[in-house]
Every structure is written in C-alpha cells, then in structure tokens.
Structure 1
Amino acid sequence: MSTAPTAASCTPSTSPSAGPLAGIRVVELGGIGPGPFAGMLLADQGAEVIRVDRPAEAGTASKHPILHRGRRSVALDLKDPAGVEAVRAVVDSADALIEGFRPGVAERLGLGPEACLARNPKLVYGRMTGWGQDGPLAQAPGHDINYIAVAGALGALGAADENPPVPLNLFGDMGGGGMLLALGITTALVSAARTGKGQVVDAAMTDGTAVQLSLIHGLLAVDRWEDARGVNLFDGGAPFYRTYRTSDGGFMAVGSVEPQFYAVLRDVLGLGDDPLFAEQHHRAAWPAMGERLAEIFAGRTREEWTKVFDGTQSCVTPVYGLTEAATHPHNVARGTYYTDNGLLQPAPAPRFQGTPAATPSPAPMVGAHTREVLEEVGLDVSAIDALAPKG
C-alpha cells in the first residue's frame, strides 16, 4: 500500500453556511482539548462558532490549527468587567455556549449559567469538565488518563502481565468529552426549539467514558467477560483479535472474530488442518495459538501480508501511522482526510446527504474578528474602541 494515492480534498460544499447546523450560533469560552473539539464538530456541521480567546494572544496564530478550524475569534479579557459585558452581549445573540472551566469559575466571572440564561432563556449552556459539576473530585485537577482510570476503562486495557498502556486521549477527552458534549448540545438545541427553554448540559469525561463501556458491562453481566485485562475477546486475549508484528517491524491487525472470518484466516495461513486451531473459542489454547500466529506473521513484511490478505474477507488489515492512513485508497476514495494549505486533517463527519458540510475554513488568527463580532451584536463604537488596547 506504500504507493497509494494522496489524501483527497473535502468535496461536498464550499458555502460557509452549509451543513445541518447552519444558522446556529455557538460561543466557545476558550479552553483546550475536549471543549474546542466539541466546537470543531459543531462548526464542521455548519454552526457559527465564535471563540473567546485571551487578549495576550491576540494577533498570533492558533496553537491548535485543526481543533480551531471553522471559527471566528474574539479576544476579550474575562477578568475585566468591560470584557465580560462584551462577552455577555455576544452570548445574548447565541443559541449555545461551551465552557470548560472548573466548577464555579464561570459563575465567579459573571458568565455562569444562571446569569446567561436570565438574559437569554433559550440558551443551551454546555459545560465540559473531567469529573463533572459535583461529586468529591469536582474540584480536583486531572487529565484524560485520570478520568478513564477512575471510570474503569484504563484498567481494562493491556496485556494481563503488563501495566495498563497509556492510550491516546480518545476515551476521555475526545469520545467521552468533546463528542459527548456535542451530542448534549445538539440534543438540548432540539429541546429548546420545541419548548423555548434552554438548559445546562453537564458533560463529564468520567461519565462519557463509562457510557462507552456499555457493551463491555453488558458482556460482563451475562458472564461473557472477565473483569481482568488481556483475557477477553476484545482486549487482546483472543489470538484472532490482536495485532502481530511483521518481519519489517510493521504490524497487522487481526479481527477474525466471526467463525466465517476465522475459517478464512486459518485457510490463508495454512492452518486449516492444524488441531491447535480447530476450536476457535477454546480459551486454554489461546496462548499457544497466539504464539504460533506471532511466529507466522513474523515471517513476512507488512506489505507482503497486506497483499496476501487483500480481498480474502478475513478482517485482517495492515496497521498504519497517522500520515500513512490518509493515503490508503479507501480513505482517499471517501475523502476521509484532506489537505488545506499543506495541513493534513480529518474531514467533517458524519456526512449528511441533504445538508452536506462545507470545507472548514482555516483556524483564524487569535482575535481576528473581535471588532466585527462586537459590531454585529450592537456594541457602540466607543465601547469597542475602549476594549481595543486590551485585545
């Protein structure tokens, strides 16, 4: 697959108002990680997202050029009463707000949900935290690894005889955080459209991580999962659902779970008559099966194994790195990744046939739209000029 074509461009629409959320205005109060990811998801689908940045960074390029795409940026000091009042004016015009401070900080700034909803009753107020708005750890610091540890996900990852691995920040920050918040905000927007009343969305990464474990908890409840690492069907315990190193240091991902795919795996590897592999779910044989498969895969390069399994209906695929994945023919054909001004990035997802998303605009310079936005929401020129020296 090394000669695959390059990443495609995002194709559906170039209109800045395209997408199913066109006409929705969202205010994003700074933040890092999951909050901006939620803002990106909403902006990708057509929402107008206005990010409130720090004045000290005004005029600089975004430090997160993909997470901050599709936005406008205003630079306002949230510790200055005049800056807070300007933010309130922008929030008054919004359908939703995203904030990712520790519980109580937004209230102390005068931008908490009670104050904002009093002025804009239809506002959907989205709160993004690790631990949630209440509970013993609500005020404790933490990161993705801590949230998924306490929620139970980290303890389920990795081999039985090794420490739990440090995963990418997908369980907590992205899936259990930003994506959960985006779902919460869009759900609450539907409710607000029907009832005329906004509400607070409390999105906690611990909660979101726990929800993602629903299938595993279901299997545990019916005795199809052990509460231990590396001994189960989807945690690397099964020899037919794990990765194997190839002779060139690459890896192949084997996901031959269903019996028909397992049968193809055996046939392709010449194991159809091997008694060790006769019973797929004979767990006592799994360690020996895994060792044998490791020996086999170590005998060829990743490229060679890719060609061997291509078109075999076996659920065996090569393992790609970040940039290499964008060149895979399937990802190219679907436009899963695209390049904008040399910056490789994922295209908006999911896809809507009736209201396709536009190609996201690049992340703006910090504060590039301060005057423009404040004029739109009705601040007079003198008030805007007074804020100018501060950002």
Structure 2
Amino acid sequence: MSETSAPGSSNGPLTGLRIIEFAGIGPGPFAGMMLADMGAEVILIERSTDFATASHYPRMAQNRGKKSVALNLKTEAGQAAAWKLIESADALIEGFRPGVMERLGLGPEEVAKRAPRLVFGRVTGWGQSGPLAHAAGHDINYVALTGVMATAMRPGQAPLLPPTIVGDMAGGAMFLLFGIMCALFEAQKSGQGQVVDAAMIDGVAAMSGLIHQMRGAMGYWKDEPGQNHFLNTSPFYEVFECADGKHITLGAIEPQFYALLLQKLGLHDVDPKRQYQSADWPALKARVAAIVQSKTQAQWCAELDGSDVCFAPVLSLADAPNHPHNAQRHLFVDLEVDGRPQRQPAPAPRFSRTSARTPEQGTKIGQDTDAVLASVGYGATDIAALREAGACA
C-alpha cells in the first residue's frame, strides 16, 4: 500500500506523541487505534489479572500498533508505575463510567497536579454530568435520545441503524479524537492540559446539525416519513431488491441526477420537474421497484456504476473489499493473526507525505511491559521486584 508505511515504522503525522490508554471497550480502543495508525506511541494499560489468560486472549484489531503493559492498579507499586507513564505522556484516554478513575486515584484533578500539560480524554455514553451520567447504556440508546434514530424510520416500521457505528465510533471515538487534538494544540500555547468530556450523546447530536438546519431554516426536512425523501419513501432515494435477491441503492436527490436516473430506467413518460411531489411517490416507487427487479445486481452495476445517478450496490462485509473501487484504494488489508487470516479496514484518512502505519496484529496483554517500563526509568531488577510484588505481569 503506497498510502501506508511498514509495520512498526514511525513516520506518521503523530510521530512523537505519547498516549496512555486505559483498557476498555468500544470508542476508547478505537480512538487509540486511530492515533496509533497515525504514528503516535499508544501505551495500553491493561489489568495484570488478565495476563494469566493472555495466551488465549485474542489479538484485538483495535490494539494494532499499540504497546501493552499489564499493571495491578490496586497495588502501590502498580499505581507508581502508572503515574510514571502518565507523567511521560501527552494525553490519556479512558472510557469508564464517571468516578472510576477518581476512585483509582487517577482522576483529572490529581493528574493536573502531577502532569499539568497532559490532556485528559474521557469518553462515555451520557457524559460526565447530567441525570443519566451514571446509568448504563449502549450505542442504540444514545442515538435514540438525540432524535437521530427517528431519521431512519420508514413509514409504519421501527427505525434501524448499523450497530456501534453512529453512537460509539462516530459520536464517541471521533469526537474524543477531535477534542484531544484541539486540546493538544491549545496546550502548545498555554502550557496547560485540560479535560475532554466526549459524550456519545453529544457527538451524535452535533452530527445532526445539517438535519436540524434542513428541518428549521430551510424547511427541507419533513418529520412525516411519507413526505420525506430521506426516509426511504421516495422512488429516487431508496434501497431496491434485484432479480437475484441482492440489493442496490439509488440516491438521485438533485434534479439533474434524477433526470438522468429516469432516463437510465427508461421512465421517459415521467416529468422530472415533479420530483418532489410526494403524492406521486408511491406509484412511481412501485414502477422503479419492478424495473430494478428485472435485472440482477451485477447487471445494474454494469449499467449504473460510475454514473451520476448516485448508485451503489449493497455489498456484504465479505464482498466489499473485492469491489474495484475499494480494491484500488486498498480500503481493507489482510493480515495473519496467530496463524489465522484476518481482514481489517485500512487506516484513514490518507496523507501525501506522512503516511500512516500499515496495520499489523494487535498486541497481547503485557507483551511490552518490560520495554515500556524501561522507557520511564525502570531497570531489570526494578521490574522483577514489581512482578514479585504482584504489581505487574
């Protein structure tokens, strides 16, 4: 891949940045992976109690490019080691419920005293404050409460969204990353770190800004599904089934694209100027559906791929890497993880000069404990003493 560098190389745009990530699930590990992809040194602090099963622990894709240290934070020596790592870092990532880091003695106030320049990145579902701050939740809940899930509601049907992507990764991880980079930039001028409170619910709400604009000032968004072309009720913005049971998508919102779509489908008797007359949609949509069902997905790809009708086939996760566009852009990479093949998405975005790391298998728990501790001043005898005291593994 020309857009990425060799495994373990450090010429990415974030080379020289050290991040401490406290092991968790969901958006935190994904954010750490993206930072590692871009050249940052991401040190993953994992529980030493998990080290006993490390040989059976999967090499998580989201741990690619990271270094793993297994520490027991309930011991004084384990805490001391964690502090040395934190004091050596530029930023920290944690995704626990509010109060967990404080109970560990590693909360923002304590960190600010010992590492005043460090950016403290926190990602949660509901945020650090508010009536729901301490409640459990998942992606589906955060997207629902913002009103965004309702934008995927077909008439008479329950809304449906792809799991973990909108809330966890987009609303959580991406906004955490944006916040960390903003705070790091500001710290260069002020010399002071700060807390980044990245709540998934905040991020999802922020991403709906265009929809709120269309709904309000522009009057373009209709809450009634039957009058809203985005809600899969129109004949030109929808998923249609093909003759072979596979599906294609059409998204010809603009007039010129809609006119071309009518031409490609042979609907010469349809007036393109009536595109947004929702009363026409049910009958016309039935006609479009019948036309699409007359050919296979492959046949429609041959006819519509690359045209301005705004077309794409609905591909499975297995088939997506083989599409010519995705293959040419090296959208996915194939790895061997502990002797087994594994496919992963390639790093994004791409840079013209400081390329991202080539993805490699994720680190195992405690794999880098000795090397990382040595980087903050621990000698071999010190590390052996830590192990003897049960502070690391």
Contact 1:338 1:344 in 2 (8 A): yes
Question: Aligned partners of 1:45, 1:169: CA distance in 2, in Å?
Answer: 23
Question: Aligned partners of 2:107, 2:68: CA distance in 1, in Å?
Answer: 21
What is the CA-CA distance between 1:278 and the residue it aligns to? 5.4
Q: Does 1:365 align with 2:358?
A: no
Contact 1:78 1:109 in 2 (8 A): yes
**Could you say which residue in structure 2 is the equivalent of 1:237?**
233
Contact 2:59 2:364 in 1 (8 A): no
SS in 2 for 1:67: helix
Deviation string 1:333-353 (CA, Å, 9 cap, x unpaired) is 111111122321111111111
Contact 1:158 1:229 in 2 (8 A): yes
Contact 1:158 1:230 in 2 (8 A): no
What is the CA-CA distance between 1:11 and the residue it aligns to? 4.5
Contact 1:61 1:365 in 2 (8 A): no
What is the CA-CA distance between 1:61 and the residue it aligns to? 5.5
Q: Does 1:43 align with 2:36?
A: yes
What is the CA-CA distance between 1:382 and the residue it aligns to? 4.4
Question: Aligned partners of 1:166, 1:96: CA distance in 2, in Å?
Answer: 32
Structure 1 letter corresponding to 2:312? T
> Structure 2 residue aligned with 1:25, among 15, 18, 21?
18
SS in 2 for 1:27: strand
What is the CA-CA distance between 1:238 and the residue it aligns to? 2.5
Query: What aligned pairs does 1:118-197 form with structure 2 within 5 A after superposition?
Result: 118-197=113-192
**Could you say which residue in structure 1 is the equivalent of 2:375?**
376
Structure 2 letter corresponding to 1:69? R
Contact 1:160 1:231 in 2 (8 A): no
Indicate the larger mover: 78-87 or 198-207.
78-87
What is the CA-CA distance between 1:75 and the residue it aligns to? 0.7
Question: Aligned partners of 2:119, 2:347: CA distance in 1, in Å?
Answer: 23
Cα distance change, pair 381–28 in 1 and its aligned pair in 2 (3 A): same
**Could you say which residue in structure 2 is the equivalent of 1:112?**
107
CA RMSD of superposed structures (Å): 1.7
What is the CA-CA distance between 1:138 and the residue it aligns to? 0.4
**Could you say which residue in structure 2 is the equivalent of 1:257?**
253
Q: Does 1:225 align with 2:221?
A: yes
Question: Aligned partners of 1:71, 1:89: CA distance in 2, in Å?
Answer: 18
Contact 1:263 1:272 in 2 (8 A): no
SS in 2 for 1:272: coil
Q: Does 1:270 align with 2:266?
A: yes
Question: What's the TM-score, normalizing by structure 2?
Answer: 0.93
> Structure 1 residue aligned with 2:4, among 2, 12, 24?
12
Cα distance change, pair 224–11 in 1 and its aligned pair in 2 (3 A): closer
Question: Aligned partners of 2:179, 2:56: CA distance in 1, in Å?
Answer: 30
SS in 2 for 1:60: helix
Contact 2:45 2:69 in 1 (8 A): yes
> Structure 1 residue aligned with 2:244, among 243, 248, 264?
248
Contact 1:145 1:172 in 2 (8 A): yes
Contact 2:65 2:362 in 1 (8 A): yes
Runs of 5+ unmatched residues, structure 2: none
Question: What's the TM-score, normalizing by structure 1?
Answer: 0.93
Deviation string 1:114-134 (CA, Å, 9 cap, x unpaired) is 111211111010001000000
Query: What aligned pairs does 1:293-372 form with structure 2 within 5 A after superposition?
Result: 293-341=288-336, 342-372=341-371
What is the CA-CA distance between 1:373 and the residue it aligns to? 0.7
Cα distance change, pair 212–63 in 1 and its aligned pair in 2 (3 A): farther
SS in 2 for 1:373: helix
Deviation string 1:83-124 (CA, Å, 9 cap, x unpaired) is 122111111100000001111110110111111121111101
Question: Aligned partners of 1:60, 1:124: CA distance in 2, in Å?
Answer: 33
What is the CA-CA distance between 1:56 and the residue it aligns to? 2.6
Contact 1:62 1:364 in 2 (8 A): no
* Percentage of matched positions with identical amino acids: 46
SS in 1 for 2:143: helix
Cα distance change, pair 228–93 in 1 and its aligned pair in 2 (3 A): farther
What is the CA-CA distance between 1:210 and the residue it aligns to? 0.2
SS in 2 for 1:326: helix
> Structure 2 residue aligned with 1:56, among 49, 66, 78?
49
Question: Aligned partners of 1:63, 1:361: CA distance in 2, in Å?
Answer: 14
Question: Aligned partners of 1:34, 1:364: CA distance in 2, in Å?
Answer: 18
Question: Aligned partners of 2:303, 2:364: CA distance in 1, in Å?
Answer: 48
Structure 1 letter corresponding to 2:31? A
> Structure 2 residue aligned with 1:284, among 279, 302, 326?
279
Indicate the larger mover: 304-313 or 45-54.
304-313
Contact 1:157 1:229 in 2 (8 A): no
Deviation string 1:325-384 (CA, Å, 9 cap, x unpaired) is 111111111111111223211111111112111213320111101111111111344442
SS in 2 for 1:371: helix
